[in-house]
Structure 1
Amino acid sequence: MIFYFYSMKKETTIFGIHPVEEAVSSNVFIDKLFIQKGIANPKIDAIVKDLEKKHCTISYVPFEKLTKLTQGNHQGIIAITSPIAFHPLEEIVENFIHAKENPLFLILDQISDVRNFGAILRTAECTGVDAVIIQKKGGAPVSGDAVKTSAGAIYKIPICKVDHIKDAIYYLQGSGVETIGATEKTEDSLYSLELKKPLAVVMGSEDKGISKSVLAILDHKASLPLLGEINSLNVSVACGAFLYEIVRQRTL
């Protein structure tokens, strides 16, 4: 029986046990792995164990879900590749803390629109962000569309995938990095804060903003002045305003 690769929405989908094994052994960057619920196969178990170490998002789904994703016999396993490799958070944070006086990190709390994600990456690269931190589940896919909308910035800035945003924030805070959340739920203006310090900016999702549990543990919350009748900005635009205020302060 022959299994093969095919392109779907600018992502590469690999299905069948042997092709996925080959991809893993060849160090192909796999972003998501879909496993059939209840399947018992030692080869699949070995693949899962390997990819758990590589920051891959692993989901156990019904047989019907897998069938919708493929045009052939998936054997209970489908892998979707990523155009980039992801970096361990601890390694990235430690490297930049030792290399720079005031490192700058950007945390995206479940930004779901791929165009916003790509635009944010482009701005992050232009403003000297050292690394972007995203959650494994709930965010926009790191796909061909993200590459396009980022204008290639996705290849130039390290991206870390974490299980939980809160854990990443605690780690950063424990490493001496202050955290600041972009939110309208505060009277503190971005322009009132001193930003010449090790810093991590947190941007929330398009519809809900920063989640309440994340907002509660941040060192600072800041808003942008809104002088018109619309009470919110597109998240990529707001992110640009935050990052360029940091640039302005640090280049005075």
Structure 2
Amino acid sequence: MDHLLLPSLLLLPLFLAGEVLSVISFNLPSHGCHWTESCHSKWLGGCGSGYIIVDQSDDCKGLCPVADYPACLPFHTHFHCCRPDVPKVSKECIKCKNKLDFGDEYVCCTDCSDPYLLDKNSKLGYCKTESDLVMQLKPLETFRWIVGPWMVCSSPCDGGIRYRDVGCFGNMEDTSIKHYPMDDSRCSSEEMPVRHESCNVKSCEDYSEGNLNTNEQSAMSGWLITILILFGLVAIGGFVLVVYTFYKRRISSSSGVVYIMLDGYS
């Protein structure tokens, strides 16, 4: 056993020296995120002062700026390091889908990758890519009531109710963003338009009496027109008869056959 333990003890200082050199050898960039260029011990290695470990990989997962590194020895790995920072003010978040909403402001990465925060109060965080963590104040937001058209009354008479859609909508000063629905509490309750009201309050009996009078007037008008038409036809017929009789008499009086009867001489 002693002859096996002795070589191990001789190699131990070399192993420890390699670990120390590996920790000292890798260079940290001044900002952003990076993968360590060499493999480091999972126990003694790390990202260095000011950086945090966000991921580990034997071959950098192919994300290193140079060709893929060969796989590390057992218990060794590359470290993905990021330097946390407070976001700077920018106007680039409005275009990104991957942004964090903090009510009056957005937090995002300048390349629109996913932002990560270590403290939501101070907004201390980082981006896994080399992009910067930035913050943008939201455009001025206003809220107003929007009403729809009135629907058909529930009754034609004797009083009914009609409804319409009323909703609270938000609108940004950025005209490229259309209005969007919000909770009613965001709009002033005192100015809220009514959602329903009474309609067709007139009694159905009034409509019946009005229809009856209208029918009676229509019937009387019909009879009057019929009588006038009949009188007109009789008058026209009488006039035609008179003209025809006069014409026949005139023809009969202006022509005739005169017969002369002569007695024959014997």
Q: What range describes the TM-score normalised by the shorter chain of this pair? A: under 0.3
Q: TM-score, with normalisation over the residues of structure 2?
A: 0.24
Q: Which has the higher contact order (CA 8 A, sep 6+)?
A: 1
User: Which protein has the bigger helix share?
Assistant: 1
Q: TM-score, with normalisation over the residues of structure 1?
A: 0.25
